Amino acid sequence: MNFLYYLSDGIIPFIFIIIVGYGLLNRINIFDVFVEGAVDGFKTVYKILPTLIGLMAMVGILRISGSLDYLVSLIKPISRITGFPSELLPLTVIKMFSSSAATSLLIDIYKQYGPDSYIGTLASVIMSCSETVFYTMSIYFVTAKVTKTRYTLLGALFATIAGIAASLAIVRIHYKL
pLDDT digits (tens, 9 = 90+) for 8-21: 888 889 998 999 89
Look at the chain and count its residues. 177
Q: What is the per-residue pLDDT for 166?
A: 94
CB 76 within 8 A of CB 86: yes
121 to each of 9, 115, 161, how far by Cα in Å?
27, 6, 18
Instruction: Tell me the pTM.
Output: 0.68
Name which of 129, 137, 35 is nearest 91 in CA terms: 129
Question: What does pLDDT average to over the chain?
Answer: 87
